[in-house]
Amino acid sequence: MEHKWLGAGLVAMGVVGLCTLLAGPGGAERTAPAGPEAGVVRVLPFPGHDGGMGVYEALAMRRASRDFDGGESLPDEVLGRILWAAAGVNRDDGRLTIPTALDSRDLRVFVLDGKGIWLYLPEKNALRFLKAGDWRAASGKQGFAGEATVNLVYAVDPSVQAGKGVPLEAIARNGAFEAGCAAQGVALACASEGLKNVVRGSWPAEELAAALDLPGGWWIVMAQSVGK
Ligand SMILES: Cc1cc2nc3c(=O)[nH]c(=O)nc-3n(C[C@H](O)[C@H](O)[C@H](O)COP(=O)(O)O)c2cc1C
């Protein structure tokens, strides 16, 4: 586990970094197919609360699978359900399908597909396009990451809990717990959708942080490959 972010000036770095992220893409470049402009928001269908597999059946089907077929995108309604399961809004007050410490809602979900890198926006069940290029392989050390239809990368913005007075070591623990909850929700949603998935604790740290233009101080907690 990396704790580089446990340093002085963490909150300030996070704020500066967040501004960078919201302002638009930068960092490394990669030849990309024509795609949306950076900043474009793609609203996904908001999932209904019926249909799909029962929770016990989905639990019986949950497993790690790695033999992905290389598909480059999922239908919006499927992606909308998977991301909602990861960290979507499930109540009128904006609270999420996962618990977050002090209701901080500080878990960020990046989506890497064949077109580029997106940031999930829970309040809209939408994706903001960050940068073009097929960065899927850069999200893992194992070859199958490049063959998964999407790779989810869970990252924590530590400035949110720090602003609520949470000690930095507790933020790390809380973030890992939140990502674990999200990944299990995604695993169950994948079971219901007939998709494969595997959570990954390994990724090329510098390459992936550069690809994501990860704000200073943010911490990548977990990755998850999803596909057929
Ligand atoms: C914290 C954590 C990290 C993991 N990291 C990887 C990984 O980097 N690569 C991988 O192929 N599988 C990874 N896995 C998946 C495990 O190998 C898998 O869950 C385990 O073999 C049990 O199989 P099952 O999930 O089908 O029950 C990870 C699982 C966990 C919980």
Is it the case that residue 24 has pLDDT exceeding 60? no
Q: By residue range, what is the domain housing residue 99?
A: 38-227
Q: Is residue 152 part of a domain?
A: yes
Mean pLDDT of 101-107: 97
Residue 11, in any domain of the structure: no
User: Can you give the pLDDT at residue 34?
Assistant: 63
Q: Is the pLDDT of residue 28 over 70?
A: no
Q: CATH number of the domain at 74, please.
A: 3.40.109.10
CA of 224 to the centre of ligand 1 (A): 10
**b/e per residue 135-172 (b: at least 16 CB within 10 A):** bbbbbbeeebbbbbbbbbbbbbbbbbbbeeebebeebb
How many domains would you assign to the chain?
Answer: 1
Nearest-CA residue for ligand 1 atom 27 is: 63
Residue 131 lies in a domain: yes
Is 22 within the bounds of a domain? no
Query: Domain for residue 116, yes or no?
Result: yes
Q: Whose CA is nearest to atom 9 of ligand 1?
A: 200
Mean pLDDT of the chain: 88
Q: Is the CB of residue 110 less than 8 Å from the CB of residue 155?
A: yes
Kindly list the protein residues whose Cβ atom lies closer than 6 A to any atom of ligand 1.
63-64, 66, 142, 198-202
Q: How confident is the model at residue 33 (pLDDT cuts 50, 70, 90)?
A: low
Question: Has residue 30 been placed in a domain?
Answer: no
Ligand 1 centre distance from Cα of residue 33 (Å):
32
Residue 178 pLDDT exceeds 60 = yes
pLDDT band at 51; cut points 50, 70, 90: confident
